[in-house]
Chain A
Amino acid sequence: MAINILMPALSPTMEQGKLSKWLKKTGDSIRSGDVIAEIETDKATMEVEAVDEGVLGSILIAEGTDNVPVNTPIAVILADGEDASAAPAPKAASAAPAPVAAPAVVTAPAALPAASAPASSEIPAGTEMISMSVREALRDAMAEEMRRDETVFVMGEEVAEYQGAYKVTQGLLAEFGPRRVIDTPITEHGFAGLGVGAAMTGLRPIVEFMTFNFAMQAIDHIINSAAKTLYMSGGQMGCPIVFRGPNGAASRVGAQHSQDYAAWYSAVPGLKVVAPYTAADYKGLLKSAIRDPNPVIFLENEILYGQSFEVPKLDDFTVPIGKARVHREGRHVTLVSFSIGITYCIKAADELAKEGIEAEIIDLRTIRPMDTETIIASVKKTGRCVAVEEGYPQCGVTAEIAMRVMEHAFDYLDAPVMRVTGKDVPMPYAANLEKLALPNVGEVIAAAKATLYR
């Protein structure tokens, strides 16, 4: 029986890819394990191996084709001796044998293509803007700071030769060499401590955690060694170090790999905690973090890595740590969030606008120190506040926001502050449960309406 070879998904977040090369041609015999084609995603080029055996009956997608959706038939394998006429004619992707009950992939909240955040005071009027992914913005920020300051170096697992597990450090090894771009063994506690020690002497390490889930191996050094040294040494010795990497849920990677640490680190005096949303903020804040004399926890988001935003074309663009940004103006309700949480707020605000509700979105950007002033100014205007995060509700960042609003703007509130958070459960693997565990746009809309008694 003829078997369709389908465009494979090669990563949790891949939806389409480029069929860059065929390594077999029609009529070639194929054994299981043979590499038959190469495909490209935004992260990497990868090989497609045959699972079935037979003869390559026909190629349905020519090499060089871009944006081939996952599960599109790309070729047909015939059993030995089978006639090529058994091969189904090339069909549109929709005719592909649909994977039975394929779990709905939790797709990344689509980026507003090159979302333009309201011009902020950080970007001089008339500045040329270029579209750039968060991944590129981070790489450029590190490269610029490494060019500027010889004491800056980056270390972590797979950051050098592999170009970063998520390709964030792409190209840095080639430019700066192995003295400053350093692959470590899998020893988080060890290299985090080593980084802190080096920082105590005045070097400026950027320590990448492959994901922040693995920083739990190192959390003792982050808190006991990095955060407290300045205080314990009576101000003699600080620790200018950046701990960075993807934080929070990715897609279908289960309980041990899907945790949001924003609230954890934000509870610790001595640390600064940054968690941006736009590429411009990723770039400007990472540069500020590297220059900051304190330990900075820089929380990235894997789902945002591939999304593009407008970034100012400036030689030295920085964004101050500790300043929130009004992402969208509105007068009826204030939505406060950070990092990927902003995507829920944007979609909710779009929906609310259809009903005449103008939501103001505040992107915190920095969790610690938290820009209370910007939140309070907005709440004084709208009288209503919804705080949104992917992390847990108990002792979450949203709980902190609600408390600050109570402390500073109680008399201005027309309704209790509401929050939308990840559910109070470890992240499940099953597609349907994972969807339920994360916050969603509907919950943000409902909370906003509740504050408006609608």
Chain B
Amino acid sequence: MAGSAAIRSKPASAKTAPKPIEKSSAGPLEFSRDQELSAYREMLAIRRFEEKAGQLYGMGLIGGFCHLYIGQEAVVIGMQMAMKPGDQVITAYRDHGHMLACGMAARGVMAELTGRGGGYSRGKGGSMHMFSKEKHFYGGHGIVGAQVSLGTGLAFANHYRNNGSVSMVYFGDGAANQGQVYESFNMAELWKLPVVYLIENNRYAMGTSVSRASSQTDFSKRGLAHGIPGEQVDGMDVRAVKAAGAKALEFARSGKGPYILEMQTYRYRGHSMSDPAKYRSKEEVQKMREEHDPIEQVRGRLLRGKIATEDDLKEIDAKVRAVVNEAAEFASHDPEPDPSELWTDITL
């Protein structure tokens, strides 16, 4: 189908084989026993939550768009292990994992997904729009790329207040092509703002692979013109994420300005719930699941290192499932918002 006059920046062959995930050059990768266990528990909590959300969507309890984070869990959990209290998080619509990682309650998130009064936005936001001032989570944004300027603004406020906090700004490989990203990069470097840009490269923006949309597919280099350092990280290995995250956060916190981490990761599920998935092969998904799954990697280490037994892990799974089931139960029975809520929170 590729005509010779086609608008294509790459030969067709360049788009097919995703390159292997590279190892980060950052620090030591060893996790302590407690860190391994905690990473396992936290990632599993996101996975089980998302599986349940997918199920509730199928039952018609969740409507509209619902973007699942399954496969990408190591990114937010690794960063969470590296950040300090007070550091802010902002992301797009694929936000359930980020909220759980920030310590937001599963039931409040799930009830927002079902549009109930007990949800974080009292049912008015939905899957894509949740916030928690208390947990320093600034949303939950539906416009691709918008969170990058907003997140740079969070960093501006940290700088202005000189409070020592760093803003962690998550966005996708697709979002990385929006113009406002580069306007933000320029200001962040110009003013040395404390921000870490986390490009979650899951290889696709909806049905478009990175090589079909990007002239520079090494996202760690996207800040070079502005003098912003960056690096590629194996975003399926929670230890690599934590190590790179710690380094980048330290850099930003010390007043040196922004830092870019390209998290090489993968989403197993469709873009949202209705996704014919014709743009990638089943084998590609299967291979990622079998060879790079972030949770299986930790699980393997836990068992091989005799840190935990199968029974211990079953017990963790049971506890995680109990929390998720309780959240789903709540989210299914909690009443819808009161009709008067239609007219509240518009202006103060």
Contact = CB atoms under 8 A, between A and B. Distances in A.
Interface of A: 6-12, 14, 32-33, 35, 41, 43-49, 51, 70-71, 99-103, 105, 157-158, 161-162, 165, 173-174, 177-179, 182-187, 189-190, 213-214, 216-217, 250-257, 423-426, 428-433, 436-437
Given A187-B178, A254-B142, 5 more contacts: A8-B57, A47-B277, A177-B1, A426-B346, A429-B124
Nearest to A48: B58
B114 interface: yes
B207 interface: yes
Contacts of B343: 423, 425
15 contacts: A46-B274, A49-B269, A100-B333, A105-B63, A158-B206, A178-B3, A190-B179, A216-B143, A217-B143, A254-B142, A256-B128, A425-B346, A429-B64, A430-B124, A433-B339
B230 interface: no
Q: 10 shortest A-B CB distances, which residue pairs?
A: A8-B58, A429-B126, A252-B63, A252-B64, A178-B6, A430-B123, A11-B274, A430-B115, A44-B276, A256-B142
Given A177-B6, A186-B175, A51 B51 contact: yes
B268 A71 contact: no
Contact of A158 (B58, B175, B207): B207
Contact of B64 (A46, A71, A251): A251
Given A33-B268, A101-B333, A252-B115, A165 B206 contact: yes
Secondary structure call for the A interface: loop
Contacts of A257: 64-65, 128, 142
Given A9-B58, A51-B55, A174-B1, A43 B274 contact: yes
A430 B116 contact: yes
A375 B324 CA distance: 56
B342 interface: yes
B213 A186 contact: yes
Interface in B314-348: 332-333, 335-337, 339, 341-343, 346
Contacts of B55: 51
B52 interface: yes
Contact of B6 (A179, A217, A428, A436): A179
Given A99-B61, A179-B6, A162 B339 contact: no
A226 to B, nearest CB: 18
B207 A255 contact: no
A101 B143 CA distance: 31
Interface in B118-139: 121, 123-129
Contact of B277 (A46, A186, A216): A46
B60 A71 contact: yes
A437 B173 CA distance: 35
A6 B59 CA distance: 7
A382 B6 CA distance: 56
Among B124, B128, B268, B279, chain A packs the most CB atoms within 10 A around the CB of B124
B267 to A, nearest CB: 13
Given A161-B279, A254-B128, A432 B336 contact: yes
A8 B130 CA distance: 25
B17 interface: no
B342 A425 contact: yes
Contact of B143 (A41, A49, A214): A214
B225 interface: no
Task: Give chain B's interface residue range (CB within 8 Å of chain A).
Answer: 35 or more
A319 B55 CA distance: 45
B147 to A, nearest CB: 12
A99 B214 contact: no
Contacts of A158: 206-208
B275 interface: yes
A185 B177 contact: yes
Contacts of A185: 174, 177, 205, 208, 213-214
Given A51-B54, A430-B124, A433-B341, A186 B273 contact: no
Contacts of B10: none
B114 A103 contact: yes
Nearest to A45: B276
A108 to B, nearest CB: 13
A189 B208 CA distance: 18
A127 to B, nearest CB: 36
Contacts of B273: 9-11
B15 to A, nearest CB: 10
B145 interface: yes
Contacts of A424: 346
Contacts of A179: 3, 5-7
Among A102, A177, A254: residue with most chain B CB under 10 A: A254
A25 to B, nearest CB: 18
Contacts of A45: 276
A253 B123 contact: no
Interface in B138-175: 141-145, 174-175
B115 A429 contact: yes
Given A12-B63, A14-B274, A46-B275, A99 B332 contact: yes
Nearest to A174: B1
A51 B179 CA distance: 39
A190 B144 CA distance: 14
Contacts of A184: 213
A256 B213 CA distance: 24
A431 B195 CA distance: 37
Contact of A103 (B8, B115, B178): B115
Given A102-B61, A103-B114, A433 B337 contact: yes
A437 B342 contact: yes
Nearest to B339: A436
A257 B140 CA distance: 13
Contacts of A162: 206-208, 278-279
Interface string B263-299: 0000011100111111100100000010000000000
B58 A252 contact: no
B221 interface: no
Contact of B8 (A70, A178, A217): A178
Interface string B168-193: 00000011011100000000000000
Contacts of B6: 177-179
Nearest to B121: A429
B212 interface: yes
